[in-house]
Copies of this chain bind each other. A is one copy, B any other.
Amino acid sequence: MSAPKKVVLAYSGGLDTSIILKWLQTEYGCEVITYTADLGQGEELEPARHKAELLGIKPENINIVDVREEFVRDFVFPMFRANALYEGLYLLGTSIARPLISKHLVELAHKYGADAIAHGATGKGNDQVRFELSALALDPTIRVIAPWREWSLTSRTKLIEFAEQNQIPIAKNKRGEAPFSVDANLLHTSSEGRALENPAEEAPDYVYQRTVNPEDAPNTPEYIEVTFEKGDAVAINGEAMSPATLLTALNEYGGKHGIGRLDFVENRFVGMKSRGIYETPGGTILLEAHRGIEQITLDAGAGHLKDSIMPRYAELIYNGFWFSPEREMLQALIDKSQEFVSGTVRLKLYKGSVHCVGRWSDYSLYSEKHVTFEDDAGAYDQKDANGFIHLNALRLKLIAARNARVKK
């Protein structure tokens, strides 16, 4: 394959993607366009501009974009409508950010007339799959360069050597291996690798970066109210907020109360198990809140159907199939269910836990008139239960009679 001429690189400004930037220039002699997204990872991004310039990127080739609202509105919120959990526990914080980045890389490739995109994910993880499936689903002709699967810089020493040879500035604390690897965005922070590789050992407290230790959280519970419209959170304590603003606020509540920590061993799409430490403070609150409002606004038929397809939906996102017909079909199903998922829930936050303790809605299906232990004024005829039970039992009775007959 011939060398690419123009490459759009997902560039964080950190050491690894700076090395990639340089390697692309030297290996392929290509022009590099950088893309740095503000996904709410909580770092200053202007240094990335400076660093890119230092590495010879033309100012018009440097793209630093705040995509926080898009991220929450078009990716995080649709996913939360499904109450998506991967393998029962993981809120998919890394997975859901990758298709957004790929979408922008592809768009920039088209804008700049680039013939390839590049990313800094390694060959062992899920992110490479997510980046590349997303990109190819959007442009089947795009070329994707994954330097970690190509180059010979296979040890820390070689990377540092390459950096030094190429005048890439190295922060002091980056000379050695970091004790673990971190990914962050507005939804979560994940930490994995090295010091965390033994799943038998509790993760040390210094791993956690955006939640306090529950033991250090306030000794008094705090209550908040979250309001939903059509399945999406729109207000906290009555104050309307944009998606990203709202998630930011929930992160603050969650972080303060030590909510959303997860120590997890998961199955990667590439076939191995890995152990991760996740912090999803706002997302954990949001899940509990969304479930709370669905409890009174979704009926059993809608709710159970959603529950039954959720694992598959979560698996698709985890595996990188956000831009796939089947994810879009499931999304259509989920979105259809959310028309009346509007109302408010009351949540109690306390030392690592969030619990829904109240919920109300103009769209509620809860009927005190039917459920009451008191006289229900004829709303419900208890004798109906006879027929309901008799006909539900009929097939079981026929089985039992058959079994008794043949076992004689």
Contacts and interface: CB of A to CB of B under 8 A. Distances in A.
B396 A137 contact: yes
Copies of this chain in the oligomer: 4
A364 B406 CA distance: 10
B129 A392 contact: yes
A384 B382 contact: no
Nearest to A130: B389
A237 to B, nearest CB: 16
A375 interface: yes
Listed residue (A122, A123, A146, A356) with the most chain B CB atoms within 10 angstroms of its CB: A123
Nearest to A382: B123
A83 B88 CA distance: 9
Contacts of A306: 329
A17 to B, nearest CB: 17
A357 B359 CA distance: 32
A129 B389 contact: yes
A267 interface: yes
A140 B397 contact: yes
A229 to B, nearest CB: 13
A14 interface: no
A358 B312 CA distance: 27
Interface in A347-388: 348, 350-353, 355-360, 362-368, 370-375, 380-388
A308 B307 contact: no
A200 interface: yes
Which range contains the number of A residues in contact with the other chain?
35 or more
A399 B296 contact: no
A140 B372 CA distance: 20
Nearest to A265: B295
Contacts of A383: 123, 149, 387
Contacts of A404: 140
Contacts of A299: 267, 325, 395-396, 398-399
Contact of A386 (B271, B357, B374, B387): B387
A401 B140 contact: yes
Interface in A254-299: 261-268, 270-275, 291, 295-296, 298-299
Interface string A324-363: 1110111011111100100000101011110111111011
Contact of A272 (B263, B270, B303, B370): B370
B261 A340 contact: no
A301 B273 contact: no
B291 A305 contact: no
A89 B290 CA distance: 13
A78 interface: no
Q: Residue among A181, A300, A389 with the most chain B CB within 10 A?
A: A389
Counting from the closest, the 8 A-B pairs by CB-CB distance are: A123-B382, A387-B387, A271-B394, A267-B300, A140-B397, A384-B387, A265-B295, A301-B326
7 contacts: A87-B303, A124-B385, A136-B400, A267-B299, A308-B308, A350-B351, A370-B398
Interface of A: 83, 87-89, 122-124, 128-129, 132-133, 136-140, 146, 148-149, 154-155, 177, 181, 193-194, 197-203, 214-215, 219-221, 261-268, 270-275, 291, 295-296, 298-312, 315, 320-321, 323-326, 328-330, 332-337, 340, 346, 348, 350-353, 355-360, 362-368, 370-375, 380-406
